[in-house]
Structure 1
Amino acid sequence: MNDAFEEFGVLIANETKKIDQFDLTMQQDLILAYIAKHLNVTANEIAHSFGITKSAVSQVLSKLEQNKMIVRAVNPQNKRESFISLGENGEKYVSLLQELDIKLIKNYYSKVNLDDLTHMTRTMEKINEVIKEENETTQKKGTLHRE
């Protein structure tokens, strides 16, 4: 399965060149995608969702903010907290991702049997659930050991 994912990445490399110009790390990309999907998200929410420290999130957010990928706005209810949303370049990045999705659907996914795509999607969802459960178990064990 890993080999198939790697080959997929190689095969669509030409399609992703516009996105590559943003030179994001995988963690920056994942956090940016999370911000795009969640309105008025906070650094604490990102840290919790990714299972990483707020300090690690802050480092990534600082870099994204420097590159105008995100903007921060002070939470009027809690001045010590900021809401994070897409900045000018973040909007461009997400727009390019959406264009890529449409192109992949039109040029490739639409040529694969719908049942096969549905099965693949369900399988990935099941794998994601197993990973989430494993991460939750690991986090709980870590909490128990610290107490």
Structure 2
Amino acid sequence: MNANSNLYKAIKEKNDQLGEFFANEVRSLLSDQHFVNLNSKQLMLLDLLHIKPVTMNEIAAAFQITPSAASQLVKKLENSNYVRREINLENRREILVELAEKGLDYIKKMEETEYYLMSKYYGQLDEKDLIQLKNILDKLYAIAVVNDENSESGMANNVNSTKK
């Protein structure tokens, strides 16, 4: 067992507590919004589309679902004006899914809420602590990127070896 196992567990526990706390506060702040009735897959799709429009096949791959299930997911959001389908002008055989009016509204409200929460809580840390937190997150991200470049089998072997 790793000498830092207890520290890893404590960090995970605190991270989970913060995540739950922030999620609850987001729900509370946005409880009067129309998108609170969307399920987690629908919200994740809106977040994915915020990055860029995607094809139906990319949606199916991202959610590890069939193209038919992806189409149903999109149809529900399309019927409520969260997303729209457009022909890909670069490949007319493809349909791109992009944010529509309510989807853009969702993204805007989420960004405003996230900024409010960051200001509310991170704003209580002094600049030195904020810089240290950012540096630690940068290091952790770099480690994650390097490890992600390793094969899936390498990761599976590593996970299995830590369970022994």
* TM-score normalised by length of structure 2: 0.65
* In 2, Cα distance between equivalents of 1:27 and 1:79: 27
Letter in 2 for 1:61: V
**Please, what is the CA RMSD of the aligned residues?**
3.1
Verify: 1:27 aligned to 2:41, yes or no. yes
Report the CA distance between 1:27 and its aligned residue: 0.7
Report the CA distance between 1:16 and its aligned residue: 2.7
* TM-score normalised by length of structure 1: 0.71
Q: Which runs of 5+ in 2 are unaligned?
A: 1-12, 157-164
Letter in 2 for 1:45: E
Instruction: Indicate the residue corresponding to 1:63 in structure 2.
Output: 76
* In 2, Cα distance between equivalents of 1:132 and 1:64: 32
* In 2, Cα distance between equivalents of 1:26 and 1:110: 29
* In 2, Cα distance between equivalents of 1:63 and 1:97: 20
Contact 1:18–1:96 (Cα < 8 Å) also in 2: no
Aligned length: 136
Letter in 1 for 2:130: L
Verify: 1:16 aligned to 2:25, yes or no. no
Contact 1:35–1:41 (Cα < 8 Å) also in 2: yes
Structure 2 counterpart SS, 1:83 = strand
Say which one has the larger Rg.
Answer: 2
The structure-2 alpha-carbon separation of the partners of 1:56 and 1:120, relative to structure 1 and needing over 3 Å to count, comes to farther
Structure 1 counterpart SS, 2:118 = helix
Report the CA distance between 1:42 and its aligned residue: 0.8
Identity of aligned residues (%): 29
Report the CA distance between 1:107 and its aligned residue: 1.5
Contact 2:26–2:113 (Cα < 8 Å) also in 1: no
Verify: 1:137 aligned to 2:152, yes or no. yes
Partner deviation per Cα, 1:109-141 (whole Å, 9 max, x = no partner): 22233146426745874797699689x738xx9
Letter in 1 for 2:99: L
Structure 2 counterpart SS, 1:68 = coil
